[in-house]
Amino acid sequence: MRIASVASALPEHYFDQLTVQKRLERIWAARPEVVRRLPALFANCGVEGRHFVLPLERYEELSTFGQFNDEWIRCALELGEKAVKLALDRAGLRPQDVDAIFFSTVTGLAAPSLDARLANKIPFRSDIKRVPMFGLGCVAGAAAVSRAADFVRGKRDGVALVLTVELCSLTWQRDDHSLAHIISTGLFGDGATCAVIVGDQRGADGPRIVDTRSVFYPDTEDVMGWRITERGFTLILSPSVPTVARERLGPDVHKFLADHGLKSTDIASWVCHPGGPKVLAAARDSLGITDEDLALSWESLRNAGNLSSASVLLILERTLQKRRPKPGTRGVMLAMGPGFCSELLLLQW
């Protein structure tokens, strides 16, 4: 199985961190205890700017879960279509070549799901297999690639799309003043990514997927996730996330590599979901690698924020474009997310 191409579609609206902070300070002016915390919390996110699907003033015009979700469907469909078309074009494939689409999100709800709505806009075959995936959060980009690899493993001339669309800004709630929500307003951004996964009978010059591994950590369901109420998505974000990453990620990755006779020093490229500064630093320390090894993850966090499931594929796209490893070398793609869990992929370039 190979990753034939990756493409991103980012919204046109881009705001630096200070602009977003000042807007929130005005909105939350009646809560001085919140406003006082914003500068330090925003500075600690490690983000300089992010893409938003709407102009900042538009968010204040939305008040109900339904209104936010309607915007999510409209904007997600637009960005998803762009990402799919660009990824297929880069892979030299047509929509009619696609056998399956694995669609991931955790920031909006739709039934029919977005993949079905896209099938009415993009001329896929009528027998396309659709696999909508909801609830995996930040781990879902890597997990969906793993599931797509499982599919093409059984269909050697197969073509599978992995589409992730996360519009984190549309989970904003004016009346949520919790610490987790305030942090989220400084950390998360919007975007879509699409990867094309093909079987070994199809030509592609992207990395080969050698193996995948899923790791579930029992009794950690309160570490990260959503509590969905009549107001919308309320973030659950425990301070223990960096601790879990530091304690579990390294040992799990090292065991995964050891099963292939490899060590961390044998890995030429690390495609790591950025999480946030503390999570990324914890992953670095646990894996025993350097900031330079994670340079594209740090860059993505700084310039786009945390895009939840879309981030790891955005970093893979940047790896293909800017820091493509030498042929024959090994790489690892990894992410962690609600469950709590991790998803690991061993690549060969």
Q: Show which residues are catalytic.
A: 138
Of residues 54, 60, 49, the one with CA closest to residue 20: 49
Give the number of C-alpha atoms closer than 13 A to the C-alpha of residue 73, restricted to the C-beta side: 12
Q: 197 by DSSP, 3-state: which?
A: strand
Give Dmax over CA atoms of the chain in angstroms.
Answer: 62
String of DSSP letters for 232-248? EEEEEE-TTHHHHIIII
295 class by beta-carbon count within 10 Å (0-12 exposed, 13-18 middle, 19+ buried) = middle
d(CA 193, CA 87): 9
Cross-strand pairs, 134: 105
d(CA 275, CA 281): 10
Q: Which secondary structure element, helix H or strand E, spans residue 216, and what is its range?
A: strand 208-216
The vertex-20 CA angle with 19 and 26, nearest 5°, equals 95
Of residues 315, 310, 259, 277, the one with CA closest to residue 46: 277
Among all chains, which residue has been given the structure tokens 């009549």?
Answer: 230
Give the CA distances from residue 312 to residues 48, 161, 309, in Å, rounded to whole numbers and listed in that order.
19, 15, 7
Cross-strand pairs, 213: 344
Among all chains, which residue has been given the structure tokens 């094309």?
Answer: 196
